[in-house]
Amino acid sequence: MKSQTLVIVESPTKAKTIGQFLKSGYKVESSYGHIRDLPKSKLGVDLENNFEPQYIIPVKSKKRVGELKKLAAKADKVILATDEDREGEAIAWHLSQALKLETRAQSTKTSESTNENSRNSHGLADSHRVERIVFHEITEHAIKEALQHPRELDLNMVDAQQARRVLDRIVGYKLSPFLWKKVQRGLSAGRVQSVALRLIVDREEEINKFQNQEYWSLVAKLKSEEGLPAGAAAKEGEFVAELYRIGDKNLDKLEFENEARVKKIISDLTGASFRITEVERKETVKNPMPPFTTSTLQQSAAQRLGFSAGRTMRAAQHLYENGFITYMRTDSFNLATEAISAGRGWIEENLGAEYLPDAPRRFKNKSRLAQEAHEAIRPTKPNLAPENFSGEPEEVKLYNLIWRRFIACQMNPAIFDALRVEVLAENKGVVPHHLKANGNTLRFDGFLKIWTTKFEENELPALKRNSEAKLLEWLPEQHFTQPPARYNEASLIKTLEQYGIGRPSTYAPIIYVIQARDYVEKQQGRFLPTEIGTRVSKVMTENFSEIVDIQFTAKMEEELDEIAEGKREWRKVIKEFYDPFTKNLAEKYETVADKAIVNEPTNEVCGKCGKPMVIKLGRFGRFMACTGYPECKTTKTLKEPAKMTGITCPKCKQDELVEKKVSRKGRARGKMFWGCNRYPDCDYATWTDPTKVPPVYDPVKEAEAKVAREARIARQGSASAAGGKEKHASRDKKK
């Protein structure tokens, strides 16, 4: 009988791609993700038995597990080919357990006792029937190379994943009931997500406390006529220079706090002479950025494509599983020698030798855990340029980004000609005033030919040292200091990475969870904490400061990394966290008042039972509720106060536009819009912020939009009716 090897991966798409490379003697199947997990209905961690996880096979996975068991029983050998990170290693281990496969795992624990305990807890026998292979890209060469070098299961990586799972489960399942009792039912807490929420809430508090400060800048418009050809255009020789020093004192940004200070300087320099005292020319270079890691890919996709982190990772997953890019969860800058060679070949052939450095570019890893075997995110076939790539629109856009970043990282730098000019303003009886002008022009585009980046060019005229300049006019400008910007996805991911919070696989889930829980909402692409999110963050900060402490969370991540390296035992790490945590939790149950922080008294009484009404906090903000609950379930919506803009309504021109929030159910709930304060007498409304873009009312377009809306509603009604008839017909047929 012909021997057969069963290869198991997580994804059916990945199985299909690998199946194209492995023909005779191989059968490639998918587990459809995790086939074992902690139960949803309970904690699932035995706190009295050294934090032993109580894994179950979910109902949705039982059929698949049964099918894989039968296939494994018939196979001569089973190969576990799940992803190379901790999650993939854990999936492989769970498969070995659920399918009762015989395997030998290599453990590198630091002591004999720890090693023995670990082997017992993993329940692995001593046999070579099962092999583990890993690869960074799904190509024929990579798969066949991996098959030549199988390894054992890495139990250190499995333990690191188990530790994170157990840690997060303890925090979530222990803290959520506390929030139900002390704040509101239905709330939940997460370990890393709570830190991300705190960052957003703290930033909002900074913005609310911020006081704008006025300041002025002063620029002189000058002209140098020396060296100009006869008949030169009037504007030739003109340039602007900014005042930056008076006497020996360098001016800071906020030096001129009002217009009077600026006018005094202009008065002092009336009739002054202006002389160019320094002309410094130099060459500056701008080097290409490293290839993508998970976080930088998510940041660039957010900035350049408007993709959310989740959207980016879904598209990247498809590209990886179909064999177009390398593994998309990585914090390594490493690149395979063959890939660099192929990229350099494309550059020389398509752009020319002047764009190719003498030697390949290598980038130093920032993460101490970025292993040499792991790579950055790059195209698997550098010769497949974006214009020749076809696929789903999102995948095409993301592939274009990844390919260009990879090719650009192996190109020569961009070269700029920089010019710095010093101008001295002198007037009798006044200390010297110093001005400066900076020029910048692109001489050679280098990597910018592939990786387009915004930059400003400022070409100065041909100025000569010790030549005179003529003052054409002063250009004073008023400014106001600005508060820190709210986080968007790119800046939040960047901040989490800088603080060492989370890892490549966790950024997208973190952002998804805090939005799904309605703790934050997006407005114009930036995160604002909701009222309930602010309350939850406040309770967590005041009572569980370590959980939401940035340094503490970063330290926990480092300890998880040490578990993955075999330097720490995961149960000890959990115990060191759990003992003080559970003690503090018990104390807070006694000292924090039940729901006192959200049940605000009012002067209103219930219209049904006559009992007092209080203000409570729900998922979508504050509302009134009867104190007779649950016997009386009367609630009342609290109308949010409208925020006046001071901008006249362009339709009725009788009142101003106000900022409001969508209160109806649906996808737009909570979204900001601007409408006339005379509503419903005037129904003008817009999604565009009128304080940034002037509002426009076009009666013709308004009438056309109204007709289109009515037609759409009619179509939806017809479709609903048809769908209803179809359902009834189907039901009648079954009867």
- Which H helix or E strand runs over 311? helix 309-321
Residue 101 structure tokens: 């496969």
The total of other beta-carbon atoms located within 10 Å of residue 626's CB is 23
CB 478 within 8 A of CB 261: no
Residue 524's region, left for phi above 0, alpha for psi from -120 to 50, else beta, is left
- Closest listed residue to residue 545, CA positions, set 580, 519, 505: 580
Question: What secondary structure does DSSP assign to 462-475, as a single string?
Answer: ---TT-EEEEEEEE
What's the number of CA atoms in the CB half-sphere (13 Å) around residue 629? 12
Residue 254 structure tokens: 């906020």
- Between CA 408 and CA 107, with CA 365 as vertex, the angle to 5 degrees is 130
Residue ranges of alpha helices (H) inside 123-249 are 140-148, 155-182, 191-209
**Which residue bears the tokens 């960074």?**
136
Rg (alpha carbons) of the chain, rounded to whole number: 33
Catalytic residue among 26, 215, 327, 507: 327
CB 385 within 8 A of CB 402: no
Q: List, in order, residues 6 or more apart from 184 with CB less than 8 Å away.
A: 532, 595, 598, 616, 617, 618
Residue 420 structure tokens: 């710095």
Please provide residue 160's backbone torsions phi and psi, each rounded to the nearest 5 degrees.
Answer: -65, -40
The amino acid sitting at 43 is: L
3-state secondary structure of 544: coil
CB 538 within 8 A of CB 187: no
Residue ranges of alpha helices (H) inside 149-186 are 155-182
CB 104 within 8 A of CB 151: no
CB 611 within 8 A of CB 634: no
3-state secondary structure of 52: strand
For residue 483, the 8-state DSSP code is: P
Rounded Cα–Cα distance for residues 337 and 26 (Å): 30
Distances 386 to 390, 400, 469, 523 between C-alpha atoms, Å = 8, 5, 51, 32
Rounded Cα–Cα distance for residues 426 and 432 (Å): 5
What's the number of CA atoms in the CB half-sphere (13 Å) around residue 366? 14
CB 690 within 8 A of CB 647: yes
Question: For 483-562, where are the E strands, in sequence order?
Answer: 520-523, 526-529
**How many residues are given for the chain?**
735
CB-based burial label for 243 (10 Å; 0-12, 13-18, 19+):
buried
Rounded-to-5 percentages of helix, strand, coil across the chain:
40, 20, 40
Is 327 among the catalytic positions? yes
Rounded Cα–Cα distance for residues 270 and 240 (Å): 17
Catalytic residues: 327
